[in-house]
Amino acid sequence: MDYREFFSQFKHLSEKPGIGGKIKVFPEDFIVVEEPLPQIFKGKRYAIFLLKKRNWDTMAVIKEIAKRAGISHREIGFAGTKDKHAVTYQYISVPAEIKEKVDAIQIRDVELRFVSYGKFIKLGHLIGNRFMIIVRNVGVNAFERTKEIIRELREKGGFPNYFGYQRFGEKRVVNHIIGKLLLQGKFEEAARLFLGYADGSMEGDEARRNFWETGNVERALEEFPRFLRYERTLLYTYRKTRSWRRAFLSLPMPILRIFIHSYQSYLFNLYLSRRIEELPLNEPLVGDIVVQVKGGIPYRDRTYRVTETNINFVREKIRTGQAMVSGPLFGFSVRKAKGLPGELEEEILEEEGITLETFKKLPKPMAEPGGRRELLIRPMGLIYGYLSEKGMCFRFFLPKGVYATSLLREIMKDH
């Protein structure tokens, strides 16, 4: 199953036909510019560089810079991962004493420019991202169709804030399933899927299929390519401990958390899709949890419940762009909705055979408290138009954690 098939289960909010087309035909078709928090530039212990990369995975380029600078990749800070098949600009922090070394690094399709001194950049140290995206091979009347879709979505309060396909795996769309199996304590089944699932288009797929059929760990260690380092770590640890649980815990914590976050994201997307079908998104209901918004930026840690007493007040806040209805990022201490929204949350958990306590039973570093996320998002500064014979060009700004591909999905209707 590829990501298009996977995403077809999630409803579009816009009912009008899309413009079709393709994104990321060339890396230059997808440009991302990070808007950092101003606080990162306060301090002297770290040197802040602007990193421009083309066709590089964020973690891969961070590791390459670290290797050439002679430091651990953990000493390099960055605010968030960026798309690989794109041209992206983001800020990184390195220890001040190696500024000259980093200045001298030359890597193909990578540029590093010293900006200033500051503090260590942590995940989440950004306001959002600016995008310039070209959609090629669009259908006829693409401009007029775009205009109609955007008008329709503005009337409905914004774009559905789905987690994008990057969260689940573009080719091997299994991260969320592995996450669910880990939550359920089914470590052997999770390992079989992580190691053995092949989509038929990637190097190492034959080795994966062999493991899927035989479960032979020794053979897998011989056949799995070296670049599948996390898979090989899992196999080595299992051979040593004969425990798939211990094998998973030998992986770096960020990798383990990807699986859990992916399953949380899947449940959120399910909730959002069901809400499009059954309940309003831009109209607060008694029992809803609402996220505060300032200057178009949602503050997901500032929430309040809709009651019969304050519903008119909340309705006005939503109308003036100062609040948004939220959906659940399920976890052991998530603030649950009540009323009809709460019933929908419970239905999804029951259908999945999961309870909130399940998120607490994970090994401690993986335990997920959960949170809330706005159901709709309003891109800022959205402009669009034809770009000669290339197709349509879109420019906009999105707060952190919001996927440009989900916004374009409503316009393109490609999946």
Q: Which two tokens stand for residue 228?
A: 């599948």
Query: Can you tell me the distance from the alpha carbon of 59 to that of 78, in angstroms, rounded to the nearest whole number?
Result: 10
Using CA atoms, how far apart are residues 126 and 69, in angstroms rounded to an integer? Answer: 25
CA distance 366 to 183: 10
Contact in structure between 308 and 345 (CB atoms under 8 Å)? no
Q: Which among 83, 109, 199, 414 is annotated as catalytic? A: 83
The contacts of residue 104 (CB under 8 Å, 6+ apart) are none
Q: Is 205 annotated as catalytic? A: no
According to DSSP, the residues that pair with 303 across neighbouring strands are 291
Q: Is the dihedral of CA 377, 381, 383, 387 positive or negative?
A: negative
Measured distance CA(110)–CA(87) in Å, rounded: 10
Distance CA 366, CA 361 (A): 9
Place of tokens 């190492």: 204
Q: Is-contact 406 86, C-beta < 8 A?
A: no
Q: How far apart are CA 392 and CA 49, in angstroms?
A: 32
- Residues in contact with 398: Cβ distance below 8 Å, sequence separation at least 6, in sequence order: 128, 129, 131, 377, 379, 380, 404, 407
Q: What gap in Å lies between CA 263 and CA 330, rounded to an integer?
A: 9
Question: What is the Cα–Cα distance from 247 to 240, expressed in whole angstroms?
Answer: 9
DSSP 67-86: HHHTS-GGGSEES----SSS
- Structure-block tokens of residue 154: 């503005």
Beta-carbon neighbour count of residue 159 at 10 Å? 26
Give catalytic residues, as residue numbers. 83
